[in-house]
């Protein structure tokens, strides 16, 4: 019965946190953690445990896949050098800095590196805490770093665990092979899975079947990568980025709207439930320590949190000055950010699901049968660091204002360009589309007037969106003409992205309007 009670309590907690987050503008993960801690006082829930394999095999593929799907590949390309540095060198430096700090506090080197590997990666889903605060470029760099750095961190973590329990060894060739297998194998598995997914999706017309194919892709990629010892995380991310590029031209409008609706709700529930469960298990981590070791563990949480932020900020400044010294190209100068912006990025290094799963996955015993040293301490400190880094979300709005970053709402030039292009494309294609639809001159004239009026409104900055003429009549010729224009607009959107004149996020936003417009014509009962 505890399972059913837990489901109901999780649902109530998520609802309450969502309402409070919207009303008081507080980051939802912070409230969800607090709700979990409160639920941990319920006697029936004290035995609740979140197996690490559930996080790695159920939560992580879905959450990372959707984050990759909603990321901007163009921004990743523009900032690839910085993202690679932050997802590789920064992760290793962070793990080493944490290991050195906790070793100085009495933790043996093996468990110290295990803790460092666990808390080194930032969390892609927790980045949503600052989604409305940051300009698109800053937000996408944070998301991309968080999507990729898990592969590096899990190699460091796995190697540290293996050495500590006596199953592994440290050597240059061995470590290089592990990293190469993790990255190359993971990306290859993701590419292969995405290709198969696209092939199948092209042959599936039923929206429910398309949804199922979409769901199978991340799990299949993760399974394929893990079966060869590669990074399942990178496989999911690679697959998600590829599918995001093919979605505008694969599948129907009905399938895309159904996928967006179901996955938006599903990822919200999974992500929220994960943070609530972290809060519930926090008490279990405390109960695994003595009164003396709790004080030591709390001190270690503070030290590790400071080391994480300090190392991250120092790396952001050092790498920026190094790049400036090496790369003097004009385009590189144009992409420079201020020191205040780097402070914001430094404080936005949230920890989450991967760190939690890694801490819980630490084995209980060594090969000799002895208990794994300081396992309870590792779990407690990881929980504490997740909480502390998420609490940064409470102060980040003030830091963002201090940093004087561009207003996120100001990223409108590309959207305006896309609106104008869609209207001009429809206007130019009107004669050809009318001939295909068998539309008469009166109908064509009406469409031309409405498109020209929308262009005039756009030129006057009246907020026209270029979606299409506003009348939705049931005349078959009207519907056929309207659908023909929508198809040409969708092709124009894809072409603008291919030419790198608009970002992926702009394409998704406008494609959503076109899909809804198409559904109003073909399935009016679905949107009315």
Would you call 7 helix, strand, or coil by DSSP?
A: helix
Compute the CA torsion angle 30, 36, 39, 45 (nearest 10 deg): 180
pLDDT per residue, tens digit, the chain (528 aa), is: 467 888 888 999 999 999 998 888 777 888 888 898 888 888 878 777 777 777 778 888 888 898 888 888 888 888 888 888 998 899 999 999 999 999 999 999 989 999 999 999 998 777 766 767 778 778 888 888 888 888 888 888 888 888 888 765 666 787 788 888 888 999 999 999 999 999 998 888 888 898 899 999 999 999 999 999 888 888 999 999 999 988 888 878 888 888 888 888 998 898 888 888 878 877 766 776 766 678 888 999 999 999 999 999 999 999 888 877 777 677 666 667 778 888 988 888 888 878 877 887 888 788 777 888 888 889 889 988 988 888 887 788 888 888 887 766 555 778 888 888 998 898 888 888 888 877 777 888 888 888 888 888 777 755 445 444 444 445 677 788 888 889 899 999 899 988 888 888 888 888 888 998 888 888 766 555
pLDDT value of residue 290 = 67
pLDDT value of residue 464 = 47
Give the Cα-Cα-Cα angle 161, 162, 168 (nearest 5 degrees): 155
Q: Give 80's contacts (C-beta < 8 A, 6+ positions apart).
A: none
pLDDT value of residue 459 = 74
pLDDT value of residue 103 = 94
Q: What is the pTM of this model?
A: 0.84
Given a contact cutoff of 8 angstroms between Cβ atoms, the answer to whether 422 and 159 are in contact is no
pLDDT value of residue 1 = 46
pLDDT value of residue 77 = 84
pLDDT value of residue 443 = 81
Structural domain spans, the chain: 2-410, 413-527
One DSSP character per residue, 180-235 reads HIIIIIHHHHHHHHHHHHHHHHHT---HHHHHHHHHHHHHHHHHHHHHTTS-HHHH
The mean of the pLDDT values for the chain is: 83
pLDDT value of residue 276 = 87
d(CA 251, CA 262): 16
pLDDT value of residue 472 = 43
Q: What are phi and psi of 371, to 5 degrees?
A: -60, 145
Does domain 2-410 match CATH 3.40.50.10800? no
The tens digit of pLDDT for each residue in 311-337 reads: 999 999 998 888 777 776 776 666 677
From the number of C-beta atoms within 10 Å of its C-beta (0-12, 13-18, 19+), residue 293 rates as middle
Least Cα distance to 289 among 376, 219, 364, 355 occurs for: 376
pLDDT value of residue 199 = 92
pLDDT value of residue 292 = 61
> Which tokens sit at 64?
């990372």
The tens digit of pLDDT for each residue in 454-502 reads: 888 777 755 445 444 444 445 677 788 888 889 899 999 899 988 888 8
d(CA 355, CA 146): 12
> Which tokens sit at 426?
């429809």
pLDDT value of residue 174 = 73
Residue-wise burial string across 477-494, b where 16 or more C-beta atoms lie within 10 A, e elsewhere:
ebebbbbbbbebbbebbb
């Amino acid at each position: 019965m505890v399972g059913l009670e837990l489901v109901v309590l999780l649902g109530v907690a998520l609802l309450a946190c969502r309402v409070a987050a919207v009303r008081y503008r507080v980051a939802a993960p912070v409230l969800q953690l607090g709700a979990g801690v409160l639920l941990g006082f319920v006697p029936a829930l004290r035995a609740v445990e979140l197996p690490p394999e559930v996080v790695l095999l159920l939560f992580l593929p879905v959450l990372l896949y959707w984050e990759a799907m909603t990321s901007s590949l163009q921004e990743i390309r523009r900032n690839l050098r910085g993202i690679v540095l932050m997802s590789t060198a920064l992760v290793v430096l962070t793990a080493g800095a944490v290991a050195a700090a906790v070793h100085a506090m009495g933790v043996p080197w093996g468990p110290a590196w295990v803790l460092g590997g666990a808390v080194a990666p930032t969390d892609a889903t927790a980045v949503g805490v600052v989604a409305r605060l940051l300009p698109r470029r800053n937000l996408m760099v944070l998301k991309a770093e968080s999507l990729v750095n898990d592969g590096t961190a899990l190699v460091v973590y796995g190697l540290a665990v293996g050495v500590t329990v006596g199953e592994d060894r440290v050597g240059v060739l061995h470590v290089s092979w592990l990293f190469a297998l993790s990255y190359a194998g993971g990306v290859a598995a993701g590419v292969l899975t995405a290709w198969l997914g696209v092939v199948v999706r092209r042959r599936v017309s039923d929206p429910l079947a398309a949804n199922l194919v979409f769901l199978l892709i991340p799990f299949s990629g993760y399974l394929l990568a893990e079966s060869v010892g590669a990074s399942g995380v990178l496989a999911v991310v690679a697959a998600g980025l590829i599918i995001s590029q093919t979605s505008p031209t694969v599948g129907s409008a009905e399938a895309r709207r159904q996928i967006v609706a179901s996955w938006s709700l599903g990822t919200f529930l999974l992500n929220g439930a994960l943070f609530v469960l972290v809060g519930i298990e926090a008490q279990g981590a405390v109960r695994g320590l003595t009164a003396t070791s709790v004080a030591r563990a709390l001190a270690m949480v503070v030290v590790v949190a400071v080391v994480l932020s300090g190392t991250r900020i120092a790396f952001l400044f050092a790498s920026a000055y190094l790049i400036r010294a090496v790369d003097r190209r004009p385009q590189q100068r144009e992409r420079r950010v201020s020191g205040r912006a780097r402070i914001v990025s430094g404080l936005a290094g949230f920890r989450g699901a991967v760190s939690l799963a890694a801490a819980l996955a630490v084995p209980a015993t060594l090969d000799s049968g002895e208990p794994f040293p300081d396992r309870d301490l590792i779990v407690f400190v990881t929980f504490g660091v997740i909480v502390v880094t998420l609490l940064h979300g409470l102060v980040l709005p003030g830091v963002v204002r201090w940093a004087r970053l561009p207003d996120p709402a100001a990223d409108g030039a590309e959207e305006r360009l896309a609106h104008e292009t869609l209207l001009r494309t429809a206007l130019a294609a009107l004669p050809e589309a009318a001939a295909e639809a068998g539309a008469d001159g009166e109908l064509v004239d009406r469409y031309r007037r409405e498109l020209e009026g929308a262009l005039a409104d756009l030129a006057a900055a009246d907020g026209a969106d270029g979606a299409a003429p506003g009348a939705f009549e049931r005349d078959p010729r009207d519907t056929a003409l309207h659908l023909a224009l929508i198809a040409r607009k969708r092709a124009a959107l894809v072409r603008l992205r291919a030419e790198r004149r608009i970002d992926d996020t702009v394409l998704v936003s406008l494609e959503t309007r076109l899909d809804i417009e198409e559904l109003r014509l073909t399935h009016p009962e679905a949107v009315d």
